[in-house]
Structure 1
Amino acid sequence: MKGNKLDLGENSPLIEPNEDIPVPYESEKKPIEGDAGNNLMLPPNQVITRCHFLVWPVAFLFVTAYYFTFTAFGQYVYIKLQNENFPGIRVNKTTAYCEVNTSSINFKIQEDVQQKAATWGIYFYLSGGLTSIVANFIMGAYTDRFGRKFLFILPCIGTIVRTSLAMVGIYYDLPLPYYIAGYFIEGCTGQIFNIFQITYIYAADITENGKSRSVGIIIVELAIGIGIVAPTLAVGFILEETNSFLVPFYISLGILVLTLFLMFLLPETYPKAIRSQRRYTSKFENLKDAVDLYFSKKNSGRRWMYIVSILVFSFTVYNALGRTAMEGLFLLNYPLCWNPTKIGVFGSMRVAFQQIVGMACVKLFHLCMNDEMIIIIGCISYAASFVLEAYATNDLMMYLVAIVGTFGLLTIPMIRSILSQMTSPQKQGAVFASISAVETAVNCIGALSANSVYIATVKIQRGFTFILFAGFSVISMILMIIFMIGTRGSKNRIYNGKDP
Structure 2
Amino acid sequence: MTTKKLDGAAASRRRYLIGPICFVHVFTFGIYNSTTVLFFPEYVGKFLYPNTTSETSADSSICNSDSNSTDTESEKVIQAEVARFTIYASLCVGIPCIISNLLLGSISDRYGRKMMLMIPTIGLLLVEMSTAILMYLDVHLYYLLIPMVVQGFVGDTFSLILFVMSYVSDITENNRSRTFGIAIMECCIGMGVVIGGIVSGYMIEAFGYIWPVVTSPLCKIINIFLIACLPATDVQNKSTDPLTLKTVLDFIKQSLEFYYSKKYRGLRWKYNICIVVYVMGCVCLIGRNAAEVLYIISPPFCLSPVLVGWFHAAQQTVQQGISMILIRVFLIFMNAEAVSTMGALSGIAGFIVQGLATSNTVLFLSLVVGFGMALGIPTMRAIMSKETPSESQGALFGGMAAAQTAGTYFGSLVFGAIYESTVYLFNGTVFMFMAGLCFISFVLSICLVIIPKCNSNEKANMEKKDEKLTEHKL
TM-score norm. by structure 1 comes to 0.85
Shift, 1:276, TM fit: 5.4
Aligned runs of 1:53-452 on 2, under 5 Å? 53-94=16-57, 95=59, 96-98=61-63, 107-242=72-207, 244-271=208-235, 275=238, 283=247, 284-452=249-417
Shift, 1:101, TM fit: 9.3
**Residues 100 and 153 of structure 2 are in contact (CA less than 8 Å); yes or no, is this contact kept in structure 1?**
yes
**Residues 99 and 334 of structure 1 are in contact (CA less than 8 Å); yes or no, is this contact kept in structure 2?**
no
**Residues 109 and 393 of structure 2 are in contact (CA less than 8 Å); yes or no, is this contact kept in structure 1?**
yes
Per-residue CA shift, 1:372-397, capped at 9, x if unaligned? 11101110111111000001110110
Shift, 1:72, TM fit: 0.7
Letter in 1 for 2:226: L
Q: Which runs of 5+ in 1 are unaligned?
A: 3-20, 22-41, 492-500
> Residue in 2 aligned with 1:32?
none
Per-residue CA shift, 1:209-231, capped at 9, x if unaligned? 12111011011011111101112
**Residues 140 and 197 of structure 1 are in contact (CA less than 8 Å); yes or no, is this contact kept in structure 2?**
yes
Per-residue CA shift, 1:322-365, capped at 9, x if unaligned? 31121010011111111112111111001111111111101111
**Range that drifts further, 319-328 or 51-60:** 319-328
Per-residue CA shift, 1:12-61, capped at 9, x if unaligned? xxxxxxxxx9xxxxxxxxxxxxxxxxxxxx74575631211110000000
Give 3-state SS (helix, strand or coil) of 2:394's partner. Answer: helix
Letter in 1 for 2:213: F
**Residues 145 and 275 of structure 1 are in contact (CA less than 8 Å); yes or no, is this contact kept in structure 2?**
yes
Supply the distance in 1 between the matched residues of 2:103 and 2:239 (Cα, whole angstroms).
Answer: 19
Shift, 1:410, TM fit: 1.0
Shift, 1:187, TM fit: 1.1
**Residues 145 and 286 of structure 1 are in contact (CA less than 8 Å); yes or no, is this contact kept in structure 2?**
no
CA gap of 1:406–1:102, structure 2 versus 1, over 3 A, is farther
CA gap of 1:478–1:102, structure 2 versus 1, over 3 A, is farther
**Range that drifts further, 98-107 or 65-74:** 98-107
Shift, 1:124, TM fit: 1.7
Letter in 2 for 1:77: F
**Residues 385 and 404 of structure 1 are in contact (CA less than 8 Å); yes or no, is this contact kept in structure 2?**
yes
Per-residue CA shift, 1:62-114, capped at 9, x if unaligned? 00000101001111111111011222123224231416999979711210111
CA gap of 1:381–1:236, structure 2 versus 1, over 3 A, is same
Alignment RMSD: 2.5
**Residues 6 and 233 of structure 2 are in contact (CA less than 8 Å); yes or no, is this contact kept in structure 1?**
no
Count of residue pairs brought into register by the alignment? 449
- Percent identical pairs in the alignment equals 28
> Residue in 1 aligned with 2:459?
none
Higher relative CO (CA 8 A, sep ≥ 6), structure 1 or 2? 2
CA gap of 1:101–1:389, structure 2 versus 1, over 3 A, is farther
**Range that drifts further, 85-94 or 295-304:** 85-94
Letter in 1 for 2:424: K
**Residues 89 and 97 of structure 1 are in contact (CA less than 8 Å); yes or no, is this contact kept in structure 2?**
no
**Residues 54 and 65 of structure 2 are in contact (CA less than 8 Å); yes or no, is this contact kept in structure 1?**
no
Per-residue CA shift, 1:214-261, capped at 9, x if unaligned? 01101101111110111212222222223x112212321221111122
Supply the distance in 1 between the matched residues of 2:77 and 2:377 (Cα, whole angstroms).
Answer: 35
Give 3-state SS (helix, strand or coil) of 1:135's partner. Answer: helix
> Residue in 1 aligned with 2:462?
none
CA gap of 1:66–1:175, structure 2 versus 1, over 3 A, is same
Q: Which runs of 5+ in 2 are unaligned?
A: 457-474
**Residues 301 and 360 of structure 2 are in contact (CA less than 8 Å); yes or no, is this contact kept in structure 1?**
yes
Supply the distance in 1 between the matched residues of 2:34 and 2:171 (Cα, whole angstroms).
Answer: 33
Letter in 2 for 1:235: S
> Residue in 1 aligned with 2:14?
51
Supply the distance in 2 between the matched residues of 1:119 and 1:476 (Cα, whole angstroms).
Answer: 28
> Residue in 2 aligned with 1:486?
451
Supply the distance in 2 between the matched residues of 1:291 and 1:227 (Cα, whole angstroms).
Answer: 30
Q: Where is the helix percentage greater, Structure 1 or Structure 2?
A: 2
CA gap of 1:277–1:255, structure 2 versus 1, over 3 A, is closer
Give 3-state SS (helix, strand or coil) of 1:367's partner. Answer: helix
**Residues 4 and 170 of structure 2 are in contact (CA less than 8 Å); yes or no, is this contact kept in structure 1?**
no
Give 3-state SS (helix, strand or coil) of 1:142's partner. Answer: helix
Shift, 1:290, TM fit: 2.2
Asked if residue 475 in structure 1 is aligned to residue 451 in structure 2, the reply is no
Letter in 2 for 1:346: F
Shift, 1:158, TM fit: 1.4
